[in-house]
Amino acid sequence: MNCKNCHTEHTANFCPNCGQKTIDKHTFRSVFSGIMEVVELERGFFKTLWDILIRPSAFFEGYLSGKTKPYTNPIVFFIVLASFSTVLINLFIKADKSMEQYHIISMVIISDIILIAIGYTLSLSKKLRFTEYLIVMIYVVALTNVINYIIGIEGAHKGYLPDNIMFLINLIEKLYPPFILSIIFWKNNHIALRIFKIFLFVSASFYLQNAVNISYLFDSIS
Ligand SMILES: [Zn+2]
């Protein structure tokens, strides 16, 4: 068989050189298998989401070592989640550019910068290349931004969710990224030392992010 795209001779279902699917004629079957590829992509997205949430350590270790096939690329993952958040925001917030929203967005950006800075210091101990570190951060920030947007929605609609649920969301948003980063970067230690380091890092990060939030709170009162 001759590849219709790059003209490499081969006998496989996909061209070993360019990846073009071996198609003799366009049939109903080949068109429908195209649709199945989109479904596969979705499955990849949910698998990525699931694995980052449920088994982050194995996910990042695998992904960084090159097991990228079953997963959605970090930038695509980020864009899909960001679009999802934008839809959420447009559903709940009626295009009102209040000061409050400005504060929330600044808080989100500063929290992200703090995370990125702390995370990079950690990645030095693991001797990750900068691009590898970037991959980890794009996945983690993509997820926490969704949580941030949920809080942003609450900020615009006070009392929309019960206080105790908001407290829980806030807590998860603050604790999740440092937790993920510490289990990735401090894996090869003795278990007790590992738990201690994770605890140290998570509480330091929690403290720093809250310090930013509180200073903004005072800012908006005065
Ligand atoms: Zn080819």
The alpha carbon of 44 and the centre of ligand 1 are apart by a number of angstroms equal to 24
- Look up residue 119 and give its two tokens: 């995370």
Tell me how far the alpha carbon of residue 14 lies from the centroid of ligand 1, in angstroms. 8
Cα–Cα distance measured from residue 145 to residue 16, given in angstroms and rounded to the nearest whole number: 39
How far, in Å, from the CA of 192 to the mean position of ligand 1? 52
Q: Where are the domains of the chain?
A: 1-54, 73-221
3-state helix, strand and coil shares in percent for the chain, rounded to the nearest 5: 75, 0, 25
Q: One digit per residue, pLDDT tens: the chain, 222 residues? A: 888 889 999 988 888 998 888 877 888 877 777 776 766 667 788 899 899 888 888 888 889 888 888 899 998 888 888 888 777 766 665 545 554 556 666 666 776 777 777 777 767 767 778 888 888 888 888 887 777 676 666 555 555 566 677 677 777 777 777 777 777 777 666 777 777 777 777 777 777 767 766 666 566 555
State in Å: Cα 21 to ligand 1 middle.
8
